Structure formats: C-alpha cells, structure tokens
Amino acid sequence: MSSKQKLDIINRLILCSKYIDMGNFHMFPLAKFMESMRLMLATNKTVIRAAAIRCLRYLSISRMSIEDMIRLKVDLLLVKSIEREPKNETERAQALKYVRQCVDCDADLLPRSFVQSIVAVADNPEDPYRDS
C-alpha cells in the first residue's frame, strides 16, 4: 500500500471519528481503530505518523479510549514523536495536542511517559515548544 493510500485511509477515519461523541462512542470498536493507528505510528513517513496521531486524538474522547491507548502502549510511540528533532514540527505538534486531549479527557490517566516528555521539552531552552 502506498503512502498516499495510507494517508487517504487515515483522513477518512478522521472524518468518521468526528461523528463519534460521548453518546454513541460505545457503538464503535475504538480499540480496533487504535490498533490500526498504532501500526501507522511505526512507519517511516512523518506525514503518515502525524495523520495517525491526529486520528488518535479524535478517537480519545473517553476514559475507556485512553485506557485502550495505554493498554496498547501507544503512549510510547507518541513519546517518540514528541522527542523527535524539531524539523518534524507537524508530528510533534500533533503529539503535544494529543497529550492535551488526554489531560482534558481524564488527567488521572495521563501516563508518566507523557509527563516526562513534557518536562524534557520545557527544560530544553532551544525547543520551539518550550513556551507553548
């Protein structure tokens, strides 16, 4: 499957995920979507990884979905995205937005790895996201 096809599929999932809300999220197999996005986070294309993180952000709307993310160890892949070089700005921005989504959804479930990555970003005086 080409990168363009993968990106198209992810964008379609993003469109679908916008229709999922707290009232009907239990009708969708969110864990299956997250498993698919986890595979996309392991690709070597920055655009694909950024789109996958964006899709995960739209899917993380409940405590249960964040628990699924932690169970699938997606947080470790997201930490890699946060800690990448600043030239991967889109991917890093999406990963940081995902962390913010997790805090907004249920801060009690925030993985320690996220907190450590945010502290590392804040401690680096050369990081463009330091003051964000």
Instruction: Tell me the pTM.
Output: 0.83
The Cα–Cα gap between 9 and 11 comes to 5
Taking residue 121's Cβ as centre, other Cβ atoms within 10 Å add up to 18
Task: Write the pLDDT tens digit of every residue in 29-80.
Answer: 777 778 888 888 888 889 989 999 998 888 888 888 889 889 999 999 999 9
The distance from CA 22 to its chain's CA centroid, rounded to whole angstroms, is 19
The Cα–Cα gap between 76 and 99 comes to 12
Residue 21 reports pLDDT greater than 70: no
The Cα–Cα gap between 66 and 75 comes to 10
What is the pLDDT of the chain when averaged over all its residues? 83
- Report long-range pairs for 13-22 (Cβ below 8 Å, ≥24 apart): 13/37, 13/55, 14/51, 14/54, 14/55, 14/58, 17/55, 17/58, 17/59, 18/58, 20/58, 20/59, 20/61, 21/61, 22/61, 22/62
CB 70 within 8 A of CB 109: yes
